[in-house]
Amino acid sequence: MADERAKRLGVVLFPGFEILDVFGPVEMFGNLAGVVEVSMVAAQAGPVKSAQGPSVIADYGFAESPHLDLLLVPGGIGTRDAMDDDALLAWLTQRAAAAEIAMTVCTGTALLARTGVLDGRRATTNKMWFNWVAEQGPKVQWVKEARWVEDGKFVTSSGVSAGMDMALAVIERLSGAEMSKMLAVAAEYEWHQDAAWDPFAKLHGLV
């Protein structure tokens, strides 16, 4: 049985999700035994095909998903179709409101922005697709140069690999800086601890 004290992290899957957006953060959160329990959630339980090809098994469908303390929304080419998925957007609206911390990676920020829960808040996203994502949430205070942005319980990150830096920052909130550093070292991952570090904003002409 799951540790009743553990926080449940729900990772949202939809067809065409970016695989590292999911498994970069899950590599970090998934090693917090007894602190975080990771579950995959999709429209229906079962396999969901990623943008890169492999399918990932959703543990729960939207209807039977348990309470989620933490929420993670990945991006990927599938976000463009997901933008018109009313059931997904309604579920995200409800679950983002109920979660202690709601996170997005890459163009996953576009999905949360479309729901309106980010209105008036600071947020960022993948710099290659920044302008398209920003169109999905005209009331969001978009930050062009940032590896990740924290605004209260909402934590949004730049493209793909940035999700790992964001995840470690959130883990620092939950379990302290030493735990985040240990996880990064164990993964032989060079953690960018400066949320403002963002060479890709300049590369894509945003600053």
Instruction: Give per-10-residue mean pLDDT for the chain (207 aa).
Output: 76 98 98 96 98 98 98 98 97 98 98 98 98 98 98 98 98 97 98 97 97
142 domain residue, yes or no: yes
97 domain residue, yes or no: yes
- CA dihedral (196, 148, 140, 201) in degrees, to 10, reads 60
1 domain residue, yes or no: no
207 domain residue, yes or no: no
CATH number at residue 53: 3.40.50.880
Q: What is the pLDDT of residue 4?
A: 60
Q: How far apart are CA 193 and CA 195, in angstroms?
A: 6
109 domain residue, yes or no: yes
Helix (H, G, I), strand (E, B) or coil at 70: strand
Domain that holds residue 89: 7-202
Q: What is the pLDDT of residue 5?
A: 81
Q: How far apart are CA 147 and CA 161, in angstroms?
A: 10
Q: How far apart are CA 47 and CA 42, in angstroms?
A: 9
Residue ranges with strand state E in the chain: 7-12, 36-42, 46-49, 55-58, 60-61, 70-73, 101-104, 122-123, 141-142, 148-151, 154-157
182 domain residue, yes or no: yes
2 domain residue, yes or no: no
165 domain residue, yes or no: yes
- Domains: count for the chain: 1
Q: Is residue 106 a contact partner of residue 125, using CB atoms and an 8 Å limit?
A: yes
What pTM value is reported for the model? 0.96
